Structure 1
Amino acid sequence: MPTRTREVVSRERSRRVRSRAVSTLPILVVSTLKPHEVDLPYSSLVCPTCRTWVPINAPHSSRPKLVPHHTETEGSEDPVRCSGSNRLVSINISADQWFARLEEGLTQTDGRRSTRVLRKPGTRPAPAVMQIVGGAMDDRTARKLDQAHVRGCSTCSVRDAKGEFLRAADISARCADGRRLAQLAAHTKRLAPARRKAEMDGEDWSDRCEQGQRLLHEQQWAQHAEKVNKADVRRVDDALTALVQMLNTHKADAPQLTAWERADLLSAISLLATQKEQLKRR
């Protein structure tokens, strides 16, 4: 009597077997499973016992059942036979009904809202107007703004009994805007020499870049100027030859030019001749 050897790794799940064994588990009804756990076109489903995809043996027969399979995928070591092997299956829905249920489930899933909480970033306090314009303002503009604020603000100015302006108040006695403007004027005055130097360096650098680009363009043009000049002369010469042939035609049946047309041709010929002489002088 042949002895049965123990399998070392799980085998590939065949789609058709000839075993007459039937599992003691109740019949598995396909309509009770979830649509995404069944694939009727390929005759396979997810085994409820081991939760792996298993082919259905003889799906169009009178007694379809799950093929014998292991609990792990193919090639896994120490395989264990699943108790859902050879379990009878009742295919009580058609492929069209299964596909309709699958599409309905996908529509419902896509229409759900996400439950993930998206935290909004905290808003930072907006900077003061003086802080916004401080980086792009020169010392003269800052000084004029400070003087205009001091003359128009009763807190930042010292006035006589008649209300006439005498002088600016100390910085400690000024209002918030007055203190910011005074600090801005002092800051821009301190940075004025460095700002002017940076502007002059930037202008000098821009001039050098423009001069270098101009020299490079002149060098590149000098390499092709002779060829371009010859092409221009040849183009003007061809146009001049064509006009001369139109003026002095040798065909008997050629249309005769009127006085106005002849005058236009002569004017165009003289203009092209002048242009040709100018091109040759270059």
Structure 2
Amino acid sequence: MPATATRKRPTRTRTKRTNGRPPLHLSTLPVQSINLRTGEESLLCPTCDTWCPITGQGTPKLAPHSKNGRRCVSSNQLLAIDISIEDWANRLAEVDQDARSRRRPRQFYKPLPAPAPAPMQMAFSYTTLRNGIRAHRAACRPCRAGRPCDHGRLLQQRITRLAQAALQQQTRRTA
């Protein structure tokens, strides 16, 4: 086998040695840091926060592991499995339910309707526009007093442009 190829580490315990520390009781660890599903038995190392498989059938222990090139002191740590798989699954479901209740509900936004175009952007005929400016002048106090407001000035400019365009079109027809 070439030196560059990596081999998958076996999941069985290769040594009977332990790290000399007292056994780590799984019941003292947070439920989220334990995975006891069949075939996926693993544990979040309390020292280096790395997910490591649980190896050994008779005497379960934390598999040898390293982080940043240094071997963790919790490698080959004996484990005391003092929680049943059913109890672990129930506690995990409770923790998950509690976390879900703290999350905000997903929001669904309705699309906003497109805004109506401004009166200046609408294609009006000359008479419609003329009637519109008359109605505006009747309702607008500055326009009634002889000092047209901004809107009134824009309407008047639009009418003027429309009238000039109609006049040019008529002169082209007659020519």
The CA deviation string for residues 147-172 of structure 1, in whole angstroms up to 9 with x for no partner, is 46557878656xxxxxxxxxxx8xxx
Q: State the structure with bigger RCO (CA 8 A, min sep 6), 1 or 2.
A: 2
For normalisation by structure 2, the TM-score amounts to: 0.65
Contact 1:142 1:188 in 2 (8 A): no
Residue-pair matches, total: 154
Residue 119 of structure 2 is matched in structure 1 by 132
Paired with 1:90 and 1:56, the residues of 2 have a C-alpha distance of 11
Matched, 1:101 2:91: yes
Structure number with larger C-alpha Rg: 1
Percent identity, please.
34
TM-score, normalisation: structure 1: 0.44
Q: What aligned pairs does 1:207-246 form with structure 2 within 5 A after superposition?
A: none
In 2, the alpha carbon distance for the partners of 1:29 and 1:67 equals 16
Residues 13, 68 of structure 1: 8 Å contact kept:
no
Which amino acid is 1:102 matched to? L
**Residue 25 to residue 155, structure 1, CA distance change in 2 (3 Å):** closer
Q: What is the match of residue 190 of structure 1? A: 164
Q: Report the structure, 1 or 2, having the larger helix content.
A: 1
The answer for unaligned runs of 5 or more in structure 2 is 105-114, 171-175
**In structure 1, C-alpha distance between the alignment counterparts of 2:99 and 2:66, rounded to whole Å:** 32
Q: Distance in 1 between matches of 2:167 and 2:89?
A: 78
2:74 maps to 1:84: yes
Quick check: 1:35 aligned with 2:31? yes
* Runs of 4+ more than 6 Å apart: 8-11, 151-155, 193-196
The gaps in structure 1 that reach 5 residues or longer are 1-7, 73-78, 115-125, 158-168, 197-282
SS in 1 for 2:71: coil
| Residues 1:35 and 1:82: Cα distance change in structure 2 (over 3 Å) | same
Distance in 1, matches of 2:132 and 2:72, equals 87
